Amino acid sequence: MENGEQIILIDKPAGMSSFGVVARVRRKLSTELGHKVKVGHTGTLDPFATGLLILLAGKATKRSNEFLKLDKVYEAEIYLGATSTTGDPEGEITKNEVEAPTREAVEAAVNSFVGKISQKVPQFSAVKINGERAYKLARKGQDFETPTREIEIYAIEILNYSFPTLKIRCHVSSGTYVRTLGKDIGTKLGTGAYLTALRRTKIGEHEIKDAKTLDDFLA
């Protein structure tokens, strides 16, 4: 660990929380160095999601704000014709009987989100509402409003469309919820939608190709 600080790029596996990754990395570094090492993340990924996590260790944790504000690139798989209470596979899924939108309709809907837009923070998120995480309130079934934020979608590319599956790559500003983007695309098309897969491939200039899998890092 140079100068008592380290920047670690991890390719997060599906099914694990970002905090779970942080805990394992902290345990590994602390064991190696013989003392407790401070480790923090620079923006979480949902448990179902995979891809680039930037972790900061030691003195580098003071630099977290540098990384939090960076724009990001994601690849997302969206299921059209159903909705989820969480916007992803972990929620309660409701199927909708709908006709398959044309490729032209999908392109028009997707492109309508490019630019600066207002986006409502999802209820299943880590944003704090009166001091408590929104997802905890949502799990309790409490009724509450989440804030709306100004975000920017720099570009969206359709990678593949074969109803009911739509795959996109999007370059977005910090603070963007891709789960909400997927849901909003489904609303625009009148089909409903939720994310079945999400992968973060870039944060600022840091790319997934330079990241280690968690297993490789811990080995």
Active site residues: 46
Bridge partner list, 79: 165, 194
Two tokens, residue 150? 């100004």
At position 57, the amino acid (one-letter code) is A
Give the residue among 164, 152, 157 at the shortest CA–CA distance from 195. 164
3-class secondary structure, 15: coil
Two tokens, residue 139? 């799990």
- Residue identified by tokens 């942080």 is 22
Give the residue among 116, 122, 124 at the shortest CA–CA distance from 184. 122
Give, for 90, the enclosing helix (H) or strand (E): none
3-class secondary structure, 203: strand
3-class secondary structure, 144: coil
- Residue identified by tokens 């972790």 is 55
